[in-house]
A = this chain, B = another copy of it.
């Protein structure tokens, strides 16, 4: 088992979905990711929070064994995102993005972080992703995520990132935007030509497409009848994906990537059943194993 490092946001989110509303609930890609990944392997977080960030919210990570030596506390307020979802929960409408302390974030890795083997660069400015990556000594597997904002505004930097990562994890809509293709199967092929050895296209309730030069692996999401809040499902997927790979302690290996995608689906299925990180906070291995068995039956003829 090797260490995982994640750089991403720690945030307070205000969310409105057909199931209800919550104000300033704990969120951010690094929180979702590390709550999932820490079920599998030791995880180190790189990020920044403001003075308003609760000690309880830090302890929630440390109680799961997450290393927060790379978490900076800065004067000002924590990153805040407000979004809402309509009946089709596959896409969020952003109502507000307040970068706050995130605006001048400069990720400095503590020396103890630099030997991390599994590195995930969550959806942040591609220059910051590069800044983190250049501080890691000899990563075994590097993954990244991105979003429409960076694809539109920072494409040259983003392309530098793509040239250095092993796996890109990306939403379906953004895979089409990045590739200029109108379907995920075609988009996956195109993205592979930009550098990654594999791409995972996240399709919400429709699951994922994993593509490597060796072929496609495509499965639906774990079936959930009552989705409460899809926020963080993709970051949860990434956390379980990297957790699964780090636990197996393999480098690039297609069989392990497939299993990692399945773990991603399983963990994400819990996230969407409650608002924010609520479900992840109380999740146990027994819960995951039970759902793994059901998922096996759902996708097996």
Residues of A at the B interface (CB closer than 8 Å) are 18, 87-89, 182-186, 189, 203, 205-207, 209, 215-220, 223-227, 255, 258-259, 262, 297-299, 301
Contacts and interface: CB of A to CB of B under 8 A. Distances in A.
16 contacts: A88-B182, A89-B182, A183-B224, A185-B205, A185-B224, A186-B226, A206-B207, A207-B220, A209-B223, A216-B298, A217-B298, A217-B301, A218-B223, A219-B299, A220-B220, A262-B301
B205 A183 contact: yes
Contacts of A186: 225-226
A189 B226 CA distance: 12
Closest 10 CB pairs of A and B: A186-B225, A206-B206, A87-B182, A218-B220, A185-B223, A185-B225, A258-B301, A216-B223, A216-B298, A218-B298
Copies of this chain, count: 2
A31 to B, nearest CB: 26
A289 to B, nearest CB: 16
Nearest to A227: B183
Contacts of A218: 220, 223, 298-299
